[in-house]
Structure 1
Amino acid sequence: MAPVHYPRLTHLALHVRNLDACLLFYRDFCGMTETHRRESGPQTIVWLAEPGREQDFVFVLMNGGEDLHLGERDYRHFGFALPSRAAVDALAEQARRAGCLLWPPRDEPFPVGYYCGVKDPNGNQVEFSFGQPLGPAAH
């Protein structure tokens, strides 16, 4: 019997209103770096990746979008793992100083763990967590 090959998630693409502000956010809060940029008429397309994961998964940011306005109970978000509770606390403090902290660090039962929420310049919610069974700290 031939092996089954399932699709693999490789990227997530977002149109954003302020490309430069979003690039700085994902660099400063998530440690992502620009790995590709191209211009196509008025369209700028930038790939961002975590160091060492450039061939695994990228965020694709494109100008020309509108700000995202999520409802109060809309918890859609991007999730990033951190190596410790102290790292979650430090990132939450960085976000508080920058005026983009959505919810302060909190503990939830397994598998959620310890996490905080931050809003990117386009209105996307980003969760930073420790203790989930995902990411490098889980291994």
Structure 2
Amino acid sequence: MIKGLYETHIQVSNLENAIQFYTEVLGLTLAHRDETRPIAFLWIGKGKDFMLGLWEQKENLQPRHFAFSSDKEDILNYSVDYLQNRNLKPYNFLKDGIDKPMVFAWMPALAIYFNDPDGNQLEFISVLEGEGRPEWGVISYEEWVSKNNEGK
């Protein structure tokens, strides 16, 4: 019955600023703006496969987390520069000051994080080939490759 996640919604403190951030900085497309309420909907990617809803909330803002599907090569080769060139600070799941993508070995998946202007925690993620190895924890991509090549 369930094929995937179609949309998610987040709270933002200023709808105009959020629309600008998500369209001009991240490249999403404005799909619809509700003129009767402070709400906007954005298309993620090409077509109408995925949507992000922005809800303006002036008080008690509750930041959320969600991840954008990305290609492994884009995350490895371009994500840090992509974010830094947009004045965004990339960080890994460990928040250890290293701005390189990390691997969640249990999945396995490669990911890098950043925040929107309202503190919502955003992520670029790519599921990797191979079996998950939860005992490896969260490791660098280089360590993931090395461990997977041991014994071959």
**Fold equivalence (TM over 0.5):** yes
Superposed CA RMSD: 2.7
Render the CA deviation track for 1:69-113: whole Å, top value 9, x for unaligned: 6xxxxxx62112333211213223225xx2x41511233246122
Q: Which has the higher contact order (CA 8 A, sep 6+)?
A: 1
Distance 1:88 1:8, change over 3 A: closer
Whether contact under 8 Å (2:80, 2:90) holds in the other structure is no
Match of 1:47 among 35, 41, 50: 41
- Secondary structure in structure 1 of the residue aligned to 2:127: coil
Question: 1:16 maps to what in 2?
Answer: 12
How many residues of Structure 1 are paired with residues of Structure 2 in the alignment? 116
Match of 1:31 among 21, 27, 31: 27
Match of 2:57 among 55, 58, 64: 64
- Structure with greater Cα Rg: 2
Question: 2:100 maps to what in 1?
Answer: 105
Runs of 4+ residues deviating >3 angstroms: 5-9, 65-69
Whether contact under 8 Å (1:92, 1:105) holds in the other structure is no
- Following superposition, the deviation at residue 68 of structure 1 comes to 3.8
Whether contact under 8 Å (1:15, 1:65) holds in the other structure is no
- Following superposition, the deviation at residue 25 of structure 1 comes to 2.0
Distance 1:45 1:87, change over 3 A: same
Render the CA deviation track for 1:49-79: whole Å, top value 9, x for unaligned: 124232x22111122344446xxxxxx6211
Q: Aligned equivalents of 1:87 and 1:102: distance in 2?
A: 12
- Which moved further from structure 2: 76-85 or 11-20? 76-85
- Following superposition, the deviation at residue 133 of structure 1 comes to 4.3
- Secondary structure in structure 2 of the residue aligned to 1:13: strand
Q: Aligned equivalents of 2:65 and 2:31: distance in 1?
A: 23
- Secondary structure in structure 2 of the residue aligned to 1:12: strand
TM-score (norm 1): 0.66
Whether contact under 8 Å (1:12, 1:58) holds in the other structure is yes
TM-score (norm 2): 0.62
Q: Aligned equivalents of 1:60 and 1:120: distance in 2?
A: 14
